[in-house]
């Protein structure tokens, strides 16, 4: 309760108090006027206080408004600075991200380029390794070098062998038809008996290479084995007028044909042992050394043995094969197959010869 309210309460209480009623009206009026003045003053004082208080409120409000404006400006300033700072940071971040992205792209390009380069180098290295495995030194067995170098000598040897065989066959034909060697029967027998080599088959049976003289002796021996005393031919004129002579000539011709086949078969074994293949300098490189004659020649039988048994007993051949690559082993296998095919052809030829001899036996039996 403020002062004005308290004062009004006292005045009102005094006006209606029974004692006051007993006083005079003039005193009451004076008191009322005094009270009114007091009330007015109090009201005025209160009004002034209210006005002062209102001004104070207005001042406070203005101060608050000013504070709000100042705070708002400050906030705006701070926000603007923050936004500016954020924009700067964002730009820096953007630039950093772009730079990182560019560096990452460059790094990725470099990595991809290095990977591609590395892959290419690996491919080149693999190709080089495969090339070495396929065409390098370890892919080339000594057999290939040996066979390549000997091809010319062997080709000439096969031709010489065929020519020698044909020569022996032609000589036998002349012998059987009594056209050349030792026309006189008496002299013929004496000469043939005087040469023991003509009757000794031991060199042909035991040796892998004959001398040239032994080849000549064995050729004569084969002639004697087939027909030691060939009959003379009957002239066509006599055969046409004398049936008995004609029959003899027919039998002679049959025997000559059978004997020529037999001789050709036996001659094959002879020419295989003749010194035919010339050894050039390239033959020095080999798995197996072959013994040549005084003319530095070997026989085909020696060659066959060197290509088969020679490799089988050669430590150098086994050591050479152990160090070869897969390509080298395949090449060696092909070289071995070539040799095997050659020997197979010789076996087939021998089987055919055996069949011919069997047929000859049957024909002679019928004769």
φ and ψ of 175, to 5 deg = -65, -45
pLDDT at 318 over 80: yes
Q: Evaluate whether residue 189 is within a structural domain.
A: yes
Q: What is the pLDDT of residues 218-254, one digit of tens each?
A: 999 998 888 888 888 888 888 889 999 999 989 889 8
Task: Tell which wins on pLDDT, 298 or 113.
Answer: 298
Are 91 and 161 contained in the same domain?
A: no
Are 154 and 72 contained in the same domain?
A: no
Are 277 and 183 contained in the same domain?
A: yes
pLDDT at 183 over 50: no
Average pLDDT over residues 78-93: 65
pLDDT at 5 over 70: no
pLDDT of residue 67: 64
Tell me how many domains the chain contains. 2
Computed over every residue of the chain, the mean pLDDT equals 78
CA–CA separation, 97 and 89 (whole Å): 12
Average pLDDT over residues 329-348: 86
pLDDT at 16 over 60: no
Are 46 and 158 contained in the same domain?
A: no
Domain interval for residue 273 = 141-366
Are 167 and 45 contained in the same domain?
A: no
> pTM for the complete prediction?
0.61
Minimum mean pLDDT among 71-85, 196-210, 214-228, 279-293: which range? 71-85
Residue ranges of alpha helices (H) inside the chain are: 3-15, 18-22, 25-135, 142-176, 185-194, 202-206, 212-226, 236-241, 243-272, 300-305, 311-312, 315-322, 326-366
6-20, 98-112, 258-272: which has the highest mean pLDDT?
258-272
Task: Tell which wins on pLDDT, 9 or 244.
Answer: 244
pLDDT at 75 over 70: no
Minimum mean pLDDT among 31-40, 93-102, 183-192, 353-362: which range? 183-192
């Amino acid at each position: 309760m403020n002062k004005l309210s308290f004062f009004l309460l006292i005045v009102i209480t005094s006006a209606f108090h029974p004692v006051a009623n007993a006083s005079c009206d003039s005193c009451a009026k004076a008191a009322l006027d005094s009270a009114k003045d007091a009330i007015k003053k109090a009201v005025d004082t209160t009004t002034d206080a209210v006005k002062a208080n209102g001004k104070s409120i207005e001042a406070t409000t203005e101060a608050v408004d000013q504070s709000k404006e100042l705070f708002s400006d400050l906030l705006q300033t701070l926000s603007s600075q923050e936004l500016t700072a954020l924009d700067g940071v964002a730009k820096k971040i953007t630039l950093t991200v772009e730079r990182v992205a560019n560096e990452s792209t460059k790094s990725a390009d470099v990595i991809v380029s290095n990977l591609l380069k590395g892959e290419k180098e690996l491919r080149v290295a693999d190709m080089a390794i495969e090339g070495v495995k396929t065409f390098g030194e370890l892919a080339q067995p000594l057999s290939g070098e040996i066979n390549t170098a000997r091809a010319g000598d062997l080709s000439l040897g096969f031709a010489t062998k065929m020519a020698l065989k044909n020569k022996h066959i032609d000589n036998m034909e002349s012998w059987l038809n009594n056209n050349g060697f030792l026309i006189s029967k008496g002299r013929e027998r004496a000469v043939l008996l005087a040469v023991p080599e003509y009757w000794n088959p031991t060199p042909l049976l035991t040796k892998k290479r004959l001398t040239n003289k032994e080849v000549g002796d064995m050729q004569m021996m084969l002639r004697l084995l087939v027909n030691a005393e060939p009959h003379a031919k009957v002239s066509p004129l006599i055969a046409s007028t004398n049936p008995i002579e004609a029959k003899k000539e027919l039998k002679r011709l049959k025997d000559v044909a059978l004997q020529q086949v037999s001789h050709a078969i036996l001659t094959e074994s002879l020419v295989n042992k003749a010194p035919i293949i010339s050894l050039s300098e390239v033959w020095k490189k080999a798995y197996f050394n072959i013994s040549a004659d005084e003319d530095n020649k070997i026989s085909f039988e020696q060659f066959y043995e060197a290509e088969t048994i020679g490799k089988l007993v050669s430590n150098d051949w086994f050591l050479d094969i152990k160090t070869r690559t897969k390509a080298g082993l395949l090449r060696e296998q092909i070289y071995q197959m070539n040799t095997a095919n050659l020997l197979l052809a010789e076996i087939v030829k021998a089987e055919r010869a055996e069949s011919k001899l069997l047929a000859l036996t049957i024909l002679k039996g019928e004769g």
